[in-house]
Structure 1
Amino acid sequence: MVTGATNGIGEAIARRLAAAGMTVVLVGRSDERLDRTRARIAAAVPDADLLLERADLSLLAEVRELAKRLGREPLPDVVISNAAVIAEVREVTSEGIPRFLATNHLAPYLLLRSLVRPIGRRAARFVVVGADPGGLARVPVDLDDLGSRTGRGLGPLPSFRPFVAYGRTKNMNAMFGYALARRLAGTRITVNGVHPGIIKDTGLGKGTARGTLRVFSTLLGSSPGTPGPDAGADTPVWLATTPDVEGISGSFFVKRRQVSTAPHTTDVARCDRLWDESARLVGLAPAL
């Protein structure tokens, strides 16, 4: 199963998994976009076995329903959490949660936690797509303000604040992965994070980027040296399929190599605090 599968890195991941012979569940928020993606993948992989699941991952109610559907047989062997957005910090969903926080962090938190019980003692791999651990070392999560409502620490340029807030959620992804892996120790479910690389044509900030962020995105997208989504799919697909990482959990990978992330993302007390606050926000008990 791949979230954010209707464009960019997510679509490339889904296509490569289909080419490897896996049945792939594509998760997206638009029936039309899901249909178009299925057609593109089928054109590239004629025997692709694809299933479509529509869910708006910015809405926790839809994430819960998605988890219920996915928690029935056949259960997923691989779950790749890839969906993410760069949105205005003040943009909230109909549930009253900042859209960037709901989509980028709370959705994978709720979805993966909800799949643990149905999967049970089976083997499964959870892969959480994050971002550059080097760059993210400078944007620690504000555990007192997960939604960045105060604007504290987002910097002086209003047009760039959505990108900083996005970076914080990518650190949350790493922290969540470590916390979940610790809680699943002794099971056959592994959890690992991955940075796909600096990739163009991801569509992350489409319709949102302005000012400094728009200039940054334009330069990135037009740079001849910036690789495309297929390059970004390489390490996530490798993590999902290779026997080389059998049994490895609670790690973070860049270019198929284990790397360290910033101390503020690995601190157990900080990770547990994020876990507990996230549980409160999605309406789950802290205990897994």
Structure 2
Amino acid sequence: MEHAVVTGANSGIGEQIATGLARHGASVVLVARNRERLEAARRRIAQVAPGVDLEVEPVDLSDLDGVRTLAERLAGRDPSIVVSNAAVIAPLDDRTPEGLHRSLATNHLAPYLLLRTIAERPSPRSRRFVVVGGSPSGLRRTPVDLDDLNLETGRGLAWPPSFRPFAAYARTKNMNTMFVYGLARRLRGTGSTVNGAHPGIIKGGRLNRHDRGALRVFGSVVGVFSPGTETGADTPLWLATAPEVDGVSGRFYVKRKAVETAGHTTDPDRVERLWRESARLVGLPA
């Protein structure tokens, strides 16, 4: 039996991915911040996949101490599928107790810490890691500022001000892509794989719950024409389960097709610098 972990699994795309894995016959650990929402998602999944082992792990992924404890606990269970899906668009002044911008902590540092911890634990079987990222074409103009990961200066972010949290979020999605390439290099020869996926612009999730002003209006208009969460879950779920991508690693997919991402995400020096700085921020050796 496959053992899977899905973050951001209490609603939206994450719940749909978890549902698909359960239908696939995998036991699934559902990870998200709110226990009540997790339990409700677990009940909904159990209705369509009766008899499948479903567990909940209520962890705030912006709390790196909590993520560290979760990572050690999950690594001990030796999951064969891990899907990093959780994300947030946080206001620029929303900081964790450690002083980290909440989007940086939740969207990038948490999956870096979680997936790296699990990947570095020896296992007799291969694993599939899937990172849900953003649109490669849409993110070309928002390169990661490697000198300002934590938005201490906020330079180069968007205008008007209400769009700045989205620009910060976009940078973390490019970090996700760079993390995929960095981890893929380290997984070579192990049999385990990691790939990224863009789910598309999807309605029905909670990603934009903190939007304000023009960004809220923009999101509402776009949402009218966007497909639902089942469509968004399709490519990540395919990467987690499909035989045709067995052994494929270090790629980014849109609608089940491998695509090129921006040069600023593939540059080896930039990828390695992000890896080292991320290690420092989460307290791991580079």
TM-score band w.r.t. shorter chain: over 0.9
Q: Give the secondary-structure state (helix, strand or coil) at the position aligned to 1:127.
A: strand
One-letter amino acid matched to 1:164: A
CA distance in 2, matches of 1:94, 1:123: 36
* Alignment-derived partner of residue 212 in structure 1: 214
- Conservation of the 8 A alpha-carbon contact between 1:71 and 1:119: no
Tell me the SS of whatever aligns to 2:281. Answer: helix
- Match in the other structure for 1:126: 129
Tell me the CA shift for residue 150 of structure 1: 1.0
Q: Which amino acid aligns with 1:111?
A: L
Provide the rounded CA distance (Å) in 2 between the counterparts of 1:220 and 1:48.
36
Question: For residues 48 and 220 of structure 1, do their structure 2 counterparts lie closer, same or farther at Cα, with a shift above 3 Å needed?
Answer: farther
1:91 aligns with 2:94: yes
Contact 1:121 1:187 in 2 (8 A): no
TM-score (norm 1): 0.96
Cα drift, residue 183 of structure 1: 1.2
Correspondence list, 1:47-58, <5 A: 47-58=51-62
Calculate percent identity across the aligned residue pairs.
60
Report the secondary structure of 2:138's partner residue: helix
State the SS of the aligned residue for 2:151. coil
Map of 2:188 onto structure 1: 185
Residue 257 (structure 2) aligns with? 257
User: Which deviates more, 191-200 or 116-125?
Assistant: 116-125
Q: CA deviation digits over 1:50-102, x for unaligned, max 9?
A: 111111100100000101110213x1000000000000112101121110100
Structure 2: any 5+ residue segments left out of the alignment? none
Residue 135 in 1 paired to residue 156 in 2? no
After the TM superposition, which residues 173-252 of structure 1 pair with which residues of structure 2 at under 5 Å, given as runs? 173-206=176-209, 208-223=210-225, 226-252=226-252
Q: Decide whether the 8 Å contact of 1:90 with 1:149 is kept in 2.
A: no
1:44, CA displacement in angstroms?
Answer: 2.5
Matched residues in 1 for 2:6 and 2:91: separation? Answer: 25
Task: Please identify, of 154-163 and 260-269, the stretch whose mean Cα deviation from structure 2 is larger.
Answer: 154-163
CA-based RMSD of the aligned residues comes to 1.0
Q: Does residue 12 of structure 2 align to residue 8 of structure 1?
A: yes
> How many angstroms does 1:117 deviate by?
2.6
Shift in Å, 1:216: 1.1
Q: Which residue of 2 aligns with 1:163?
A: 166
Q: CA deviation at 1:121?
A: 4.5
Residues 125-154 of structure 1, C-alpha deviations (whole Å, 9 max, x = no match): 000000100000010000000122212111
SS at match of 1:90: coil
User: Contact 1:18–1:24 (CA<8 Å) still a contact in 2?
Assistant: yes
CA distance in 1, matches of 2:223, 2:69: 35
Residue in 2 aligned with 1:114? 117
The secondary structure found in structure 2 opposite 1:58 is coil
TM-score by length of 2: 0.96
Distance in 1, matches of 2:124 and 2:40, equals: 36
Write the distance in 2 (CA, Å) between the matches of 1:210 and 1:249.
Answer: 38
Q: CA deviation at 1:119?
A: 4.0
Quick one: which amino acid aligns to residue 167 of structure 2?
A: V
How far is the alpha carbon of 1:159 from its aligned partner?
A: 0.4
Corresponding residue SS for 2:166: helix
Q: Distance in 2 between matches of 1:123 and 1:89?
A: 39
Q: Which runs of 4+ in 1 moved over 3 A?
A: none
Letter in 2 for 1:216: F
- The secondary structure found in structure 1 opposite 2:128 is strand
Q: Whole-Å Cα distance in 1 between the matches of residues 240 and 129 of structure 2?
A: 8
* 1:43, distance to aligned residue in structure 2 (A): 2.1
Tell me the secondary structure at the aligned position of residue 133 of structure 1: coil
Partner of 1:276: 276
Secondary structure class of the residue paired with 2:174: helix
Distance, in Å, in 1 between the alignment partners of 2:55 and 2:97 is 28
